[in-house]
Every structure is written in C-alpha cells, then in structure tokens.
Amino acid sequence: MRPVLRCIRLSMTGKNRKMTGKNRKWKITVPAAVLLLALYMVIFGFSAQDGEQSGSLSQMISEKCVELFNSLSGGKWSKAFMEGLAAYFEHPIRKLAHFSEYACMGILVYVLWAQWMDRGRRLYLLTVEWVFLSAAADEFHQLFVPGRYGSFADVLLDTCGGSFGMALCMLAAYLHRRSVRKRKAAGKPEAVPGDTEPAGTVREG
C-alpha cells in the first residue's frame, strides 16, 4: 500500500509543479510584454519628432551631461569650452541612446520568449531578428518625418544593442544555473513532499 501512496504523491507533486511552472511563465510574460509595449511607444515617440525637435533634445541632454562632468571636476570649465564639448558629444550620445534602447528591447524580447521556447539557436535568432526588424521599421518610419532620415547604420547599431542585451540575459542565466548546481551538489537529496523518508532511501523487505 505504501508504494501505491508514494506513486500518488509523486503524481500530484508533478501536477503541482506543472501548474506552478505555467503560472510562473505568465507572471514573467505579462510584465515583459507590457514593458516591451511601453518601450515601443518611447522609441517611436522619439522617432516621430521632427529634425529640429530631435536635435534640440539631443543638444539639451549633451549640455546637461557636460554640466554634470564640469560640476564633478570642480566647475572650472569655461562656457566656450563646455559648449564645444557639448557639440562634440552630441552625436555619440544619440548613438548611445539608440544602443541602450535596443539593449533593453533585446532583454525584454529574450525574457518573454524564453518562457515558451527552449534556450538555444532558435531563441537567439528570434531575438536578433525581432530587434533587427523593429530597428528597420523605426528607421523606415523616420523617412516620413520632416527633417529626419533613415539609416541602415543605425539599424545595425540597434541590432548590436539588442544582441548585447540578449547576451546579458544569457550570462545571467548561466550564472544562475551554475549557482543552483553548486547548491544542489553541496546539499542533501531532495525529499518528496509528504514522505517522511528522503528520496533514494532503500526500504528492506
């Protein structure tokens, strides 16, 4: 009778684990999808700005960064030097913003689809293709905005950003799996819930 009860408990435990795993998938998928949608709104909101608005925003951000560095260095820079520095760094800051936005997209896309696909080449290719097509759509959209233009170089830069975000996720997943393996190797065999004997115990008779 005890072996039968043990089999029933194992069966129920498997079902509970399946339900818990499915709930966990949705708890991760829904927030990731919402954040991804919000990110799309931000990206296409910026690309909808005309050339003058976009340039003014980039210039303002560059000036704020220079002012911050000036204050950290003691506030000894001249106004002319700060203006020149802000103009010099405006373009790199724009590209860094592109890279960062799509790095976030790579993270969210990878996390979202990793709940429903096995980690492997298909998941990696899907993430990169998703980011590439999104970047291409963004640059195509800019062709119809006054004072803006589409750039294939920006598409490649954005794709590199998405790949970087995906790589961060892969590194985090690897470190997590290695940590789990170490804890399991250092611990005792896991007991089956509801059973007073640890798993692997051989019963005489």
- Digit-coded pLDDT (tens) for 157-185: 999 999 999 999 999 989 999 999 988 88
Query: What region, left, alpha or beta, does residue 139 occupy, with left being phi > 0 and alpha being psi -120 to 50 degrees?
Result: alpha
> What's the pLDDT score for residue 43?
95
Give yes or no for a contact between 145 and 204, defined as CB atoms under 8 angstroms apart: no
> What's the pLDDT score for residue 2?
56
Instruction: Give the residue from 36, 27, 171, 173 showing the smallest Cα distance to 101.
Output: 36
- Digit-coded pLDDT (tens) for 44-88: 999 998 888 888 888 888 888 888 888 888 878 888 888 888 888
The domain ranges of the chain are: 55-186
Give the Cα separation of 124 and 109 in Å (integer): 10
- Digit-coded pLDDT (tens) for 10-35: 444 444 455 566 788 899 999 999 99
Give the Cα separation of 122 and 126 in Å (integer): 6
* The amino acid at 115: Q
> What's the pLDDT score for residue 137?
96
